[in-house]
């Protein structure tokens, strides 16, 4: 029983990270049709920025941790806004060029991070409470899992509130459904594009700081390794669906953890298999439109 609970909470913590990356990916694709391969770079920059804050101000306290979350999210948001405004804005409707630019940016960003912070992982420490465990049904759950889960739930609630209760949220929901009709109502949809990129970048940056505590280190490849699973989550959840991304993130991560433990480390294979099954039998994903 304790193993099941431990795997479940470990999966939920990892799912929280997947969700923080996939939320932005899903909204960006849903609204703009852009497959953003540079999204992992937003996460990595957030993680390194958070690490720099922790390194310079002392990592073993909650104040520094919360500050690193804010600065990490801000760094991800700024990088994403820059990417949309400078690189992507000229390439709407040109999908091949978008892929080339975002792939190129992700490679350039990794090289830049290598140059600044080196190729080796840098290790990070958070508040002492993170290293402790909490016992649930006999399982000793590392506390940093709870932090990831709570942060992801708060981000989900904030995004749902934003999408449902604000005018820009309404524009984004409408734009995901029919972008040209939003324009034909006299709305400058480009502002919504920049906003969605920025929000997605902020969530990824926040995810980067949390991922660095979850894994205990930051490396230039951190974003790329999470991005692969975030793409899978986005497709399984349904492109453009935030709720779908949340459900799929949890499902993928928990499935991955259980398969790794019970099926001899086949977690990644099982996730890819799940993706193939979804594409075969439900190509719209759980809650979205056609993948």
Partner 1 sequence: MSTAAESRATEPRPVLRVESLFATIAGQQVVEDVSFTVPATGITALLGRNGVGKTSTIKAIIGLIDRAGTVELDGVRIEKEATFKIIRSGVGYVPEDREVFSKLTVAENLRLAERDAAPRRQLVEELFPDLLARSAQMAGTLSGGQQQMVSLARALLNTNKILLVDEPTKGLAPKIVGEVAETLAEAAKTVPILLVEQNLHVVRQLAEGAVVLSGGRVVHTGPALEFLDDAGLIQRHLGVSTDAAHSGNPAEKGAAL
User: Given the rule CB under 8 A, which residues bind partner 1?
Assistant: 167, 170-171, 173-174, 177-178, 180-189
125 burial level (CB within 10 Å; 0-12, 13-18, 19+)? middle
CB of 70 to partner 1, least distance (A): 32
Question: Quick one: 134 or 178, whose CB is closer to partner 1?
Answer: 178
Find the shortest distance in angstroms from Cβ 34 to partner 1. 19
- Of 184 and 280, which has the nearer Cβ to partner 1? 184
Report the run of H or E that residue 134 belongs to, with start and end: strand 133-136
> Which three-class secondary structure string do you get for 84-130?
HHHHHHHHCCCHHHHHHHHHHHHHHHHHHHHHHHCCCCEECCCCHHH
Exposure string of 203-228, with b = 16+ CB inside 10 Å and e = fewer, is bbbbbbbbbbbbbebbbbebbbebbe
CB of 186 to partner 1, least distance (A): 4
| Residue number, 162 or 261, with CB nearest to partner 1 | 162
- Minimum Å gap between C-beta 289 and partner 1 is 10
In angstroms, rounded to a whole number, what is the distance separating the alpha carbons of residues 250 and 255?
8
Element (H, E) at 8: helix 2-32
Distance CA 62, CA 78 (A): 24
Q: Select 120 or 188, whichever has its Cβ closest to partner 1.
A: 188
Q: Which is nearer to partner 1, 3 or 183 (CB)?
A: 183
89 and 193 in contact (C-beta within 8 Å)? Answer: yes
Whole-number Å distance between alpha carbons of 285 and 266:
23
Q: Which residue's CB is nearer to partner 1, number 135 or number 188?
A: 188
Min dist. Cβ of residue 190 to partner 1 (A): 9
Report, in Å, the least distance between residue 264 CB and partner 1: 43
Cα–Cα distance between 227 and 229 in angstroms, integer? 5
Specify whether the CB–CB gap between 30 and 176 falls below 8 A: yes
- Residue 177: CB minimum distance to partner 1, A: 5
Q: Are 49 and 75 in contact (CB under 8 A)?
A: yes
Cβ atoms of 68 and 209 within 8 Å: the answer is yes
**Closer residue to partner 1 in complex, CB, 180/290:** 180
């Amino acid at each position: 029983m304790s193993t099941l609970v431990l795997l479940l909470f470990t999966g939920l913590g990892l799912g929280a990270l997947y969700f923080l990356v996939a939320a932005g990916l899903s909204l960006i694709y849903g609204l703009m049709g852009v497959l953003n391969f540079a999204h992992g770079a937003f996460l990595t920059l957030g993680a390194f920025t958070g690490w720099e804050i922790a390194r310079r101000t002392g990592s073993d306290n909650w104040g520094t941790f919360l500050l690193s979350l804010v600065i990490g999210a801000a760094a991800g948001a700024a990088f994403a806004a820059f990417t949309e405004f400078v690189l992507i804005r000229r390439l709407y409707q040109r999908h091949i060029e978008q892929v080339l630019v975002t792939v190129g940016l992700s490679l350039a960003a990794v090289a830049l991070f290598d140059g600044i912070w080196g190729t080796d992982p840098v290790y990070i420490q958070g508040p002492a409470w993170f290293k402790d465990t909490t016992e649930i049904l006999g399982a000793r759950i590392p506390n940093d899992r709870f932090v990831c889960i709570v942060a992801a739930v708060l981000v989900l609630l904030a995004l749902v509130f934003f999408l449902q209760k604000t005018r820009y949220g309404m524009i984004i929901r409408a734009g995901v459904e029919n972008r040209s009709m939003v324009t034909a109502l006299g709305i400058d949809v480009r502002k919504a594009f920049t906003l969605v990129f920025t929000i997605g970048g902020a969530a990824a940056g926040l995810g980067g700081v949390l991922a660095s505590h979850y894994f205990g280190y930051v490396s230039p490849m951190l974003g790329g390794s999470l991005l692969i699973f975030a793409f899978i989550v986005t497709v399984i959840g349904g492109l453009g669906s935030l709720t779908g991304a949340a459900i799929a993130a949890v499902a993928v991560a928990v499935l991955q953890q259980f398969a790794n433990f019970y099926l001899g480390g086949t977690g990644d294979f099982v996730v890819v298999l799940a993706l193939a099954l979804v594409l075969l039998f439900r190509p719209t994903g759980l809650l979205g439109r056609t993948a």
